[in-house]
């Protein structure tokens, strides 16, 4: 009889320990990282790529161009160089605690398409650890203002 009572008491104690552990786990609140956002302006032309990262109020955190990464001027617009530009531009905002970005891509006014390095720059920013909230193309559209350069017959190649 005494052995049965001891066994029951041990079972009850074991159940209480399991319940106490379950309560401890429930009490721990999940701490989510605070999301601090910034704005990344990517300006891609056929000749160069510029990445300019600001906070939401417009204060510049970093600004890097293709010419700051490579010494060959013909490679400034290359997607590989654009990737390095974005990585280098992302270092300082990452240290300041920014972990999300609104991306604004812009090309030369009046051009048909954006430069070759824009997609590589966005991918590189995402791989660096930023959460990309939105991507927006903000290329300006010419509405018949001043005459384009190149003369009456256009640029002769």
Say what percent of the chain tops pLDDT 90. 58
Q: What is the pLDDT of residue 26?
A: 55
What is the structure's pLDDT at 131? Answer: 95
Write out residues in the chain with pLDDT < 70, as ranges.
Answer: 1-2, 17-32
The pLDDT value given to residue 101: 96
Domain boundary assignment for the chain: 37-137
Torsion angles phi and psi, residue 38, rounded to 5:
-140, 180
Query: Can you say whether residue 110 is alpha, beta or left, with left for phi > 0 and alpha for psi between -120 and 50 degrees?
Result: left
Confidence at residue 130, expressed as pLDDT on a 0 to 100 scale: 95
Confidence (pLDDT) at 146: 82
What residues form DSSP beta bridges with 62? 53
- Residue 70 and residue 132 in contact, taking contact as beta carbons nearer than 8 Å: no
CATH code matching the domain that covers 37-137, chosen among 3.30.420.80, 3.40.50.2000, 3.40.50.1000, 3.30.470.20: 3.30.420.80
Q: What is the pLDDT of residue 3?
A: 72
């Amino acid at each position: 009889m005494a052995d049965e009572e001891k066994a029951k008491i041990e079972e009850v104690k074991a159940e209480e320990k399991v319940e106490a552990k379950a309560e401890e786990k429930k009490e721990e609140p999940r701490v989510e990282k605070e999301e601090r956002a910034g704005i990344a302006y990517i300006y891609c032309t056929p000749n160069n790529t510029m990445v300019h990262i600001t906070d939401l109020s417009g204060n510049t955190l970093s600004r890097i161009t293709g010419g700051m990464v490579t010494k060959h001027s013909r490679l400034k617009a290359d997607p590989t160089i654009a990737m390095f530009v974005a990585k280098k531009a992302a270092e300082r905002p990452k240290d300041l605690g920014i972990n999300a970005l609104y991306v604004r891509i812009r090309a030369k006014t009046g051009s048909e398409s954006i430069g070759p390095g824009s997609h590589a720059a966005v991918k590189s920013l995402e791989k660096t650890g930023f959460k990309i909230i939105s991507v927006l193309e903000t290329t300006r559209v010419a509405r018949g203002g001043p005459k384009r350069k190149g003369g009456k017959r256009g640029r002769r190649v």
